[in-house]
Amino acid sequence: MTRELDVAVIGAGIIGLSTALTLADRGHSVTVYDPAPLSGASHHAGGMLAPAAEVVYKQEPLFPLMLRAAEWYPELIELTGKYSPAHTGYRIEGTLVVARDRADREHLDNLRAYQHEHGMDVDPLTLRQARSLEPALSPALAGVVRLPGDRQVQPRQFTRALLAACAAAGVRFVSEAVTDVRDLPAEQVVICAGLGARDITGWYEGSNPLRLRPVYGDVLQLRVPAHQHPLLGHVVRGYVESRPVYLIPRGDGTLTIGATSREDERPHPQAGGVHQLLRDAIEIVPAIEDCDFIEATTGARPGTPDDLPYLGRVNDKVVVSTGYFRHGILLASVAARCGAELVEKQSPSLDLAACTVVRHA
């Protein structure tokens, strides 16, 4: 145990809120600074807790973080429920990953071998077995595997639940942007401001060393009509002509489809991206053509040059926790636990050597 600290958390997305709640639960006095809570990348995220499905070749330093994040996630869900009864959208059915044609099947087979090599559970299914689980799947698919360990949350529900839990735990909210940490009276500061962290000064001699870039992604929300509900029970990820696409069923009868990835500095949904997502999703689940279209949005993921987060202590007062790119929802459990431990000047429960904050200075 450590003495009670006065902690300022900059940013009220999923990383900031998870960190603030964890710190408050550990007995600290916490203030969160954000002029527009819940409005950043978390608002547009899919919410898949998928350490196996989200594997990317040649990003081995990420794998221990992702696997530990999945292991710790039930604790974060339980902690949220301790202070708020609001729904988080947490579901545990697992994920199906499908291939549209033979070339996609080859990619799926290679990916499965790579996942097995790194100790991840991947179960091959026949198409008949897959369609017994999910009858809405196209009968023309070329391959299917099941990832039983993957989970999901509904990010908009979860962040609202975290916000309510923080308030119930005594966290104070200030609707102001912070540009210089020296303006804050707190003993400890945690910078969780996503892309905004690159504009915050006062913690590093010289220019800000964070090399953050916005990676835009188009995401669609559909509503499943009553006569089709539930259209899907599992998260379904697919490869269509080598393009990745995911379909996420929600408990409220909606369906999330995503996501494109582009670095063109255009913060609005692109017609081509929306068309691509719908076309590829319909190839996997044809009945999507009959769903109601709710919205298309675009979020900006905070990417780093090596796609690893910045997570660590930078001086006696400041901890940085940002740059989670496509894995912000999953890695929130790591950010919360390790961020709190760093604030308390303890050794973190996970080796964070790959996440050194000033590695790109």
Q: Give the residue from 323, 312, 322, 321 showing the smallest Cα distance to 346.
A: 312
Percentage of the chain lying above the pLDDT 70 cut: 100
Closest CA to 180 of 164, 196, 165, 195: 196
Average pLDDT over residues 161-189: 97
If pLDDT is split at 50, 70 and 90, which confidence band does 121 have? confident
pLDDT-based confidence at residue 1 (cuts at 50, 70, 90): low
* DSSP 8-state symbol, 284: H
pLDDT higher than 70, residue 350 = yes
* Segment holding 334, helix H or strand E: helix 332-343
At residue 63 the predicted structure's pLDDT band, cuts being 50, 70 and 90, is very high
Taking a C-beta distance cutoff of 8 angstroms, is the pair 260, 276 a contact? yes
Confidence of residue 242 (pLDDT cuts 50, 70, 90): very high
First-to-last alpha carbon distance for the chain, in angstroms, is 34
How far is the CA of 236 from the CAs of 53, 64, 196, in angstroms?
A: 10, 24, 32
pLDDT by residue (tens digit) across 305-314?
999 999 999 9
Whether the CB-CB separation of 46 and 219 falls below 8 Å is answered with yes
What local confidence, expressed as pLDDT, does residue 58 receive? 80
The residue type found at 334 is V
- For residue 169, the SS3 value is coil
What is the mean predicted confidence (pLDDT) over 143-168?
97
Taking residues 333-342, report their average pLDDT.
98
- Please provide the average confidence, as pLDDT, over all residues in the chain: 96
pTM: 0.96
**pLDDT (mean) for 47-57:** 89
pLDDT class of 54 with cuts at 50, 70, 90: confident
- Determine the pLDDT at residue 119: 85
- Could you report the per-residue pLDDT of 272-328, keeping only the tens digit for each? 999 999 999 999 999 999 999 999 999 999 999 999 999 999 999 999 999 999 999
Residues with Cβ within 8 Å of residue 140, at least 6 apart in sequence: 100
Q: What is the pLDDT of residue 120?
A: 87
Average pLDDT of span 127-133:
97
Distance (Å, rounded) from C-alpha 93 to C-alpha 110?
Answer: 24
How far apart, in whole angstroms, are the C-alpha atoms of residue 145 and residue 229? Answer: 24
Number of Cβ within 10 Å of residue 227's Cβ equals: 6
